[in-house]
Structure 1
Amino acid sequence: MSTIVDNHYQLGGSVIKPPRLTSSPAGIQHLSFVLEHRSEQLEAGFSRRSFVRIAVVMSGDSAVQWANNLKVGDVVQASGFLNRIEDKNGIGKLVLHAQQLVKI
């Protein structure tokens, strides 16, 4: 297994699904929502539309604090690390595990 030096991801966008607060069997609180980003980026001298939808999970005390302060339509900047999960059908997807969240 190779060593990865850094896994940091930052994305701004709109909350498009209602945030949901759940608790793990270990009693850890998790706030889940979907973030949508739309922008124009410059690539190889050309303008390119960028569209991203990603599941975001925030855990611990921060999840509880944000649970009542986050709603559909809010624009936020989320930063943390990416992790791969598999759904019940074994299909993998990336999830942003937010360690910091800022309303814009």
Structure 2
Amino acid sequence: MNTFALTASVAEISQQRYTPAGIPALDLLLSHESQQIEAGQSRKVTLSLKALALGTTAETLAKTEVGKQVKFKGFLASTKNGKGSVLHITDIEFI
């Protein structure tokens, strides 16, 4: 199963574009910071993650302010060049 959930702030939002099929698409960069417990120890975690939203989710996120905290759900896939991962957003919840 490939499901992913992350609370993150929107660090960057590209200009909304359209797929060849006419579906709205939006590229984002998400930023996350938290404290996590690993092996019984507290650890500070920071990460940046590329994300992609399609359809009505893209249209909604296109109106979002940079810095806004959002709960994202979706799945991970390889980037086009295969040298990283991108979160394909399927659901959002504004905090």
In structure 1, C-alpha distance between the alignment counterparts of 2:28 and 2:67, rounded to whole Å: 12
For the residue of structure 2 that corresponds to 1:63, the secondary structure is: helix
Residue 34 of structure 1: CA displacement?
Answer: 0.8
The aligned residue for residue 95 of structure 1 is: 86
For the residue of structure 1 that corresponds to 2:16, the secondary structure is: strand
Is there any run of 5+ residues in structure 2 with no aligned partner, and where? none
| Residue identity (%) | 33
Between Structure 1 and Structure 2, how many residues are aligned? 95
Residue 52 of structure 1: CA displacement?
Answer: 1.3
**Superposition RMSD in Å:** 1.4
Q: Is residue 68 of structure 2 the alignment partner of residue 77 of structure 1?
A: no
In structure 2, C-alpha distance between the alignment counterparts of 1:44 and 1:65, rounded to whole Å: 39
Residue 102 of structure 1: CA displacement?
Answer: 1.0
Residue 63 of structure 1: CA displacement?
Answer: 1.4
Counterpart pick for 1:25 among 20, 27, 30: 20
In structure 1, C-alpha distance between the alignment counterparts of 2:60 and 2:65, rounded to whole Å: 13
In structure 2, C-alpha distance between the alignment counterparts of 1:76 and 1:65, rounded to whole Å: 12
Q: If you compute each CA radius of gyration, which structure gives the higher value, 1 or 2?
A: 1
In structure 1, C-alpha distance between the alignment counterparts of 2:9 and 2:60, rounded to whole Å: 19
* Contact 2:13-2:26 at 8 Å conserved across structures: no
After the TM superposition, which segments of 4 or more aligned residues of structure 1 sit over 2 Å from their partners?
A: none
> What is the identity, as a one-letter code, of the residue corresponding to 2:77?
N
> What is the identity, as a one-letter code, of the residue corresponding to 1:76?
V
Residue 20 of structure 1: CA displacement?
Answer: 2.7
